[in-house]
Structure 1
C-alpha cells in the first residue's frame, strides 16, 4: 500500500507540461480542451462525472495530477446523478443532516441557488461522506479529490446562530475533522486529498495540517479579486503555501483576461516561493470553463541558484534557466528598481537588463536567452 509520504512526493513531481493548473469544473469539456490541457498543464480539477476526460488525460500524461471535485460542506439539489459534486447527495441525506435555521428551515447558500448547507459537525454526515467518496474513487482514473469549501468564515449567508451551531467554530471544527478522516481514508486506497483551505493565514498551522494528505488549494492567493489584492503583510503571510506540503495549487484572481497583469504577478511569486513545485492558475471569479494560459506558464526556470532575496516588500530569485521578481507594495509610489541577471529575455524573446523598474503589485518572469 502506498504511504502518505509516497503519495505526497509523487503529487509534487514536476511534469512535462509546464506549471499550470487547469481548474475546470464548469461547462462540459471539449475534445479541443483535452488536447490543450494534455500539452500545457501539470494538474487538473474536474467534475466527478468527467471520467472519460480524466482517463484520457492520465493516458496521455501519466505524470499529471488529475483531481475530482467534491464539496465538503454542501449538497446540490439540481444534480441528477448518479455521480455528484458533493460527498452526500441531496436525495440520500436525511433531514437532520441539513443545517437548519432556528425556525426549522433548511439553509440555501446565498448567491448559489440549489446549494444546501450540511451539518458538518455531525459524525454521521462525515462518515457517510467519507464512505461514499472512498468507494467512488477507489477504482477511478482520478488521482484524488479536491475538497472544496474547507471554510473558515461565513461566506454563504448562514447568519449564525442556527440549530446546533452557534459560531463558525462549529463549522471549522466539523470540516477539519472531515478533512482528517477523509484524508487518511483516501491515502489508504492510494489517493490524495487536496482541500480548498480558506484563509489559512488566519490560523497558524492550518495550511500544513489540512494539506497533509496530498496538498492544498488556495483559491484566493494574493487577493480576493483583481481589484482587491492583499496588502504586503497579508500577502507575505500566504507565501509558505507555495512550498507544500504535497501539491500546492495556487489561483490568483483576474478579470478573466489572460493578459491581466495579475497573471504574471502571481506566477512570479509562485516561482520565487515555491521554486516551480505545485501548480498555478489565474482566473476570473468562478470562471472554470476555459483553458486559461500565458506562454510563461509553460516555462521551466530550472533549479533555484539561491534563496528568495528581498528588499522591503520586493523579492526576486534566480534559477538555472530564468529569473523572477515581484513587488508586493500596494502604494503606487513604491516602484522598485531591481538588477536583472545577465542573459535574460522576456516573453517576446527580447533581451532584458541590466535593470528594470517593477511597479507595485506587479511581477516579472524571465528566461535565459
Structure 2
C-alpha cells in the first residue's frame, strides 16, 4: 500500500520530482487531459494507481489552444446553440473564472457530442477514466437564472443527470471510469450513489467550504456515507495550503472512520492544485476495522487492526471531548499516545499500533 492520498493536480505544468513523489505516495491522481506522458509514467510505475483526466461537464474554455481540452466540447467546436445565453442573447461567462463559458447542458445535442468526444479521446488513453468537474447543484458561477432555455437550477441538474448517466455508460463500455465532482449531494437523497455508480465520486468540499467555514455537525454527518462509495470516493477537505493545518488530520480521521481506508483523500487550499500535499499519516495503513464507528454525541471513533481514529464534529468551543484511546497506540513520532486524548471541536486524530 502506498498510502490513501489523492493527487489533485490540474494546475501548473508537472515536474519530474512531483511524478516521483506521486508514484511513491498516492493512490489516485487527477491530471489535465494533455498530460498524457505523466499519466503513462504513473501507470507504468504504479499500475494500481487510478489516474484520471479532468473534463468539465458544464463549460468550455476560450483560452485553451488544444488539440486536447479540459472541456468535453472545445470552444471552437461548440455550436452557437450550445452556448448558454441570457434572455438578451448574451453568452454567459462565469464569474471569477474568465474564459469559462456556460454550455447548454439541457441540450441533448450538446450532451451527445460531449459523450462522443470524451469517449473517443479516452478509449486508447493511458488514463483510467475521467473526473467530470462541475456536476453542479446550485448557481455557483453567476448564471442568474432564469436564462434562455433554463428557468431554474432544477433544469440544469436534470441535464447533468442525463450527461452523467450517458457518459458513465459509454466510458464503462470502453473500460474506463467516470468520477463526477458531485456538488452538494447531501441536499438530494440518492444523488451521490446515482452519480458515483460508474466508478466513483469526487467531493471537493468535504466537511467544510473553507479552512474557517467548516460544517455544523448535522451537515458534516450528512456527507459521511460518501466515504463508503460506490466505487472510488475522492474526498477533499479545505485547508489554507499548509499541510500542518489541523483540517488535514480532521478530514483524514473521518476518512478512515467512515470509509475504512477505501477511496482516496486530499486536503488543499481553494483551487490550489499545483502541489504534492502530504503528511506522514497519509501513508499509514490502519488495517481492517475491529468495530463499527462508535458515537457519543457528535464525536466518533473506531479501532482498526493497525491503528485508531477519532473525530469531533462539534462546532461550539466548549464541546471538547475526552476520548479513551486503546492500549498500544503511538503518534506520528512513535511516542505512546496515552490512555486518553482530548479533541477540541472540528479536530481529528489518527494513531497507529506500536
Give the TM-score category using the shorter length: over 0.9
Tell whether 2:211 aligns with 1:211. Answer: no
Tell whether 2:85 aligns with 1:100. Answer: yes
Name which of 192, 197, 200 aligns with 2:185.
200
Name which of 288, 305, 318 aligns with 1:333.
318
Tell whether 2:13 aligns with 1:28. Answer: yes
- Deviation at 1:177? 0.3
SS class of match (2:29): strand
Tell whether 2:96 aligns with 1:111. Answer: yes
Tell whether 2:254 aligns with 1:269. Answer: yes
- Deviation at 1:280? 0.1
Structure 1 CA distance for aligned equivalents of residues 344 and 146 of structure 2: 45
Structure 2 CA distance for aligned equivalents of residues 64 and 306 of structure 1: 28
- CA shift digits 1:159-181 (9 cap, x unpaired): 11110111001110001100000
- Deviation at 1:348? 1.1
Tell me the residue number matched to 2:267. 282
Tell whether 2:290 aligns with 1:305. Answer: yes
Tell me the residue number matched to 1:57. 42
Tell me the residue number matched to 1:349. 334
Name which of 266, 269, 281 aligns with 1:296.
281
Tell whether 2:220 aligns with 1:229. Answer: no
Structure 2 CA distance for aligned equivalents of residues 233 and 343 of structure 1: 32
- Deviation at 1:283? 0.1
**Structure 2 gap segments, 5+ residues each:** none
SS class of match (2:156): helix
Structure 2 CA distance for aligned equivalents of residues 304 and 100 of structure 1: 52
Tell me the residue number matched to 1:6. none
- CA shift digits 1:187-223 (9 cap, x unpaired): 0000000000000000000000000000000000000
Tell me the residue number matched to 2:128. 143
Tell whether 2:175 aligns with 1:190. Answer: yes
- Deviation at 1:255? 0.4
- CA shift digits 1:44-100 (9 cap, x unpaired): 000000000000000000000000000000000000000000000000011110000
- CA shift digits 1:310-339 (9 cap, x unpaired): 000000000000000000000000000000
- Deviation at 1:40? 0.2
Tell whether 2:81 aligns with 1:81. Answer: no
Structure 2 CA distance for aligned equivalents of residues 225 and 198 of structure 1: 15
**Count of equivalent residues:** 354
- Deviation at 1:148? 0.2
- Deviation at 1:17? 1.2
- CA shift digits 1:21-57 (9 cap, x unpaired): 0000000000000000000000000000000000000
Structure 2 CA distance for aligned equivalents of residues 109 and 333 of structure 1: 41
Tell whether 2:305 aligns with 1:358. Answer: no
Tell me the residue number matched to 1:154. 139
Tell me the residue number matched to 2:232. 247
Structure 1 CA distance for aligned equivalents of residues 334 and 161 of structure 2: 47
SS class of match (1:179): helix
SS class of match (1:352): coil
SS class of match (2:201): strand
Q: Which moved more, 1:242-251 or 1:350-359?
A: 350-359
Structure 2 CA distance for aligned equivalents of residues 21 and 356 of structure 1: 28
How much is the aligned-residue C-alpha RMSD, in angstroms?
0.4
Q: What TM-score, normalized to structure 1? A: 0.96
Structure 2 CA distance for aligned equivalents of residues 254 and 45 of structure 1: 19
SS class of match (2:121): helix
Structure 2 CA distance for aligned equivalents of residues 170 and 226 of structure 1: 32
Tell me the residue number matched to 1:48. 33
Structure 2 CA distance for aligned equivalents of residues 125 and 203 of structure 1: 25
Structure 2 CA distance for aligned equivalents of residues 305 and 78 of structure 1: 52
SS class of match (1:255): coil
- CA shift digits 1:132-191 (9 cap, x unpaired): 000000000000000000000000000111101110011100011000000000000000
SS class of match (1:69): strand
Deviation >2 Å, runs of 4+:
none
